[in-house]
Amino acid sequence: MKPICIDANVFIASTKGNEPYSSDCKRVIQAVADGEFYLIEPTICMTEVIRNITKYLEMEAGKTLENNLRSMVSIWEICDNHFCTSAGYTGALYGTYSMDSIYLETALKHHAVLVSLDNNDFLLRIKGRAGIETYHPKDFP
């Protein structure tokens, strides 16, 4: 089993179900459920997912996704002072936005596959440079 770090936007699109890549996002998450990967997430992922799902759907959907995430995640990367400082420098090195830098730092620390819907402003900036596998859900094997 390989480690994988999935950007919150993949969980959100999968749960909403009505976005252009929702079915591809579900396929990525299903690969974790099927045991092909073990999931590593920064703790801030929980905030991003709950906030967005409760905004677009409702509180109960947020609680359901929270429970699903808690059961799926094998390792939570704590976003403490040291980790966030390191992620800031990683972001500066690769030219990524702050939140993307946290997912990138998580994937780099654990040599994990990284999956995000943010192709232009994130994946294309690191593809072939970061030394990890990166995928948009539509390209996920």
Q: Which domain holds residue 97?
A: 2-139
Question: What is the pTM assigned to this prediction?
Answer: 0.95
Residue 21 DSSP one-character state: T
Cα(45)–Cα(120) distance, integer angstroms = 20
For every one of its 141 residues, what pLDDT tens digit does the chain have, with 9 covering 90 and above? 999 999 999 999 999 999 999 999 999 999 999 999 999 999 999 999 999 999 988 899 989 989 999 999 999 999 999 999 999 999 999 999 999 999 999 999 999 999 999 999 999 999 999 999 999 999 999
Total domain count for the chain?
1
Dump pLDDT digits (tens) for 69-105. Answer: 999 999 999 999 999 999 999 999 999 999 999 999 9
Q: How far is CA 132 from CA 55, 61, 81, in A?
A: 32, 32, 24
Number of H helices, E strands in the chain: 7, 5
Q: Give residues with Cβ within 8 angstroms of 94, minimum separation 6.
A: 101, 104, 125, 126, 129, 130
Give 19: exposed, middle or buried? Use CB within 10 Å, 0-12, 13-18, 19+.
Answer: middle
CATH code of the domain containing 95: 3.40.50.1010
